[in-house]
Structure 1
């Protein structure tokens, strides 16, 4: 693989292209300043304006959300896995039918494997613009997003209507639902009543891993964060490892599946047959199967990254403990 070919597999943080109309709450006060990024795969955007950086899906999707302080993402639920780690800022994640069943605050590098089947939302509670990176289970991550009824109702009050096809129509721009197309129906009350309402104590010990705990565990070998016999509950269809300077493999290696490298801190040099590339915090690199590669920190100082790998697990739903 030539350096030019590998560069097409790297999405640089500075090249990320945001979409500000990705979701139904794009006009709702308090949520109208958020930016959505689709890095690998189709993602979950409901807008035709969403730019996709790498369209091939390796069995999972990679995306990101960027938000200024006090901007929030509204309550929604997924039928597939949704894993977030904080790249920058301080974030509050909350969940439940009304967002009051439980919550957790995450700092840079912390990771959250959110159980499927529960409503969840998040907001930037820091003082600066923040970014969280997302790993979404399955090839078609857009097929399983459902919004809490109040989100759909609030959006309609501010000009956005979600069609039953999952496409957004902006009445402020004169758009109307095509003839014969109905709005997305609200979730029925009997279904809402059956959705889990796990507490903070039900969720945090089993689904959240803290950055500095992982740094300690990755002193001699990669820390297994998600996967078989890993730190966090469930196997959502992909593996996640955490690496630091002390845990990088000593020798070059190949992997027969897809591998995505996502630096959190520092600078990393990816060596491969044909060349090398430097990866920085916020970059996303999709290494194809079979490429012989090695990783080394490119500079002195603290360095860490998440490594996401495809596997043979079914991308089935996680459930709260």
Structure 2
């Protein structure tokens, strides 16, 4: 593969194209300033305005959320796994029917593998624009988003209605639900009663990995962060490894499926049979299947990188208490 061909599979942080109308809470005060990014895969946006950078199926989706301070993403759930790592800023994640069952604060580099079956939201509690990177299980990203009932109700009060066809309709623009299309059904009390309310103490040990801990663990060899035998044991359809300067190697390897490289710190030189490229924090690179490649830091200083590859497992861990 030539450098020009591989460049089409690299999304530079500075080239990311945001969508400010991606979800039902785009008009809701407190959530109306967030930006959504679909980097790899179809994503879960409810808006036709969402730009997809790389549409090639990988067995998972890569996205991102950018938000100014005090901006939040409303309570929602997916049918498949959702994992986040913090690229920039300081973030509070919260979960439960009303978002008060538990919470955790994540710093830069920390990763949170959120089990399906619970509503979750997040907000930027830092002092500057923040960015979190997301991994969603499956090529269809779980078939969309399930919103907490109050999110749907709040959105309607501010002019946005989600149709049962999965599309948003803005009443402020005189948009109406098409004939034969009703509004998205709100979860019943019976359905909501089945959803667990795990506490912070329940969630933290098995679902959050801290950046500094991973840096220490990956000083000699890469550490598996998410996987059947990972720090966060799960089979969500993908595995996530964490690599540092000490555990990087120039020896090339291949995968039978596409893999993704996402630098967290430092600049990384990726070599493959046919060329090389340098990645910076926030960049995302999709390496084609069966292409021999390696990744090593290209400059001195702190260096860390997340590596994601599909495994074809089911949706992932549903919260079981």
- Give the unaligned 5+ runs of structure 2: none
Q: Which residue of 1 aligns with 2:175?
A: 175
Asked whether the equivalents of residues 40 and 62 of structure 1 are also in contact (C-alpha less than 8 Å), the reply is yes
Q: Which residue of 1 aligns with 2:146?
A: 146
Q: Which residue of 2 aligns with 1:238?
A: 238
Q: Please give the alpha-carbon distance, in whole angstroms, between the structure 2 residues aligned to 1:75 and 1:105.
A: 16
Asked whether the equivalents of residues 112 and 207 of structure 1 are also in contact (C-alpha less than 8 Å), the reply is yes
Q: Confirm whether residue 303 of structure 1 aligns to residue 313 of structure 2.
A: no
Offset of 1:233 from its aligned partner? 2.7
Sort the Cα spacing of 1:250 and 1:84 in 2 relative to 1 into closer, same or farther, 3 A. same
What aligned pairs does 1:174-253 form with structure 2 within 5 A after superposition? 174-253=174-253
SS of 1:213 mapped into structure 2: helix
Q: Which residue of 2 aligns with 1:39?
A: 39
SS of 1:251 mapped into structure 2: strand
Q: Which residue of 1 aligns with 2:8?
A: 8
SS of 2:295 mapped into structure 1: strand
Aligned length: 321
Q: Which residue of 2 aligns with 1:125?
A: 125
SS of 1:252 mapped into structure 2: strand
What is the alpha-carbon root mean square deviation over aligned residues?
0.9
Q: Deviations over 1:253-304 (max 9, x none)?
A: 1222221000001100000111100000000000011111111111110110
Q: Please give the alpha-carbon distance, in whole angstroms, between the structure 2 residues aligned to 1:20 and 1:132.
A: 16
Asked whether the equivalents of residues 203 and 320 of structure 1 are also in contact (C-alpha less than 8 Å), the reply is no
Asked whether the equivalents of residues 80 and 142 of structure 2 are also in contact (C-alpha less than 8 Å), the reply is no
SS of 1:315 mapped into structure 2: coil
TM-score, structure 1 as length reference: 0.98
Q: Confirm whether residue 164 of structure 1 aligns to residue 138 of structure 2.
A: no
What aligned pairs does 1:68-83 form with structure 2 within 5 A after superposition? 68-83=68-83
Comparing 171-180 with 60-69, greater Cα deviation is found at: 171-180
Q: Which residue of 2 aligns with 1:290?
A: 290
Comparing 47-56 with 249-258, greater Cα deviation is found at: 249-258
SS of 1:201 mapped into structure 2: helix
What aligned pairs does 1:72-111 form with structure 2 within 5 A after superposition? 72-111=72-111
Asked whether the equivalents of residues 115 and 320 of structure 1 are also in contact (C-alpha less than 8 Å), the reply is no
Offset of 1:155 from its aligned partner? 0.3
Comparing 252-261 with 222-231, greater Cα deviation is found at: 252-261
Q: Deviations over 1:45-77 (max 9, x none)?
A: 000000000011210000000000000000011
Asked whether the equivalents of residues 270 and 276 of structure 1 are also in contact (C-alpha less than 8 Å), the reply is yes
Q: Which residue of 1 aligns with 2:266?
A: 266
Q: Please give the alpha-carbon distance, in whole angstroms, between the structure 2 residues aligned to 1:54 and 1:291.
A: 18
Q: Please give the alpha-carbon distance, in whole angstroms, between the structure 1 residues aligned to 2:192 and 2:266.
A: 44
Offset of 1:180 from its aligned partner? 1.5
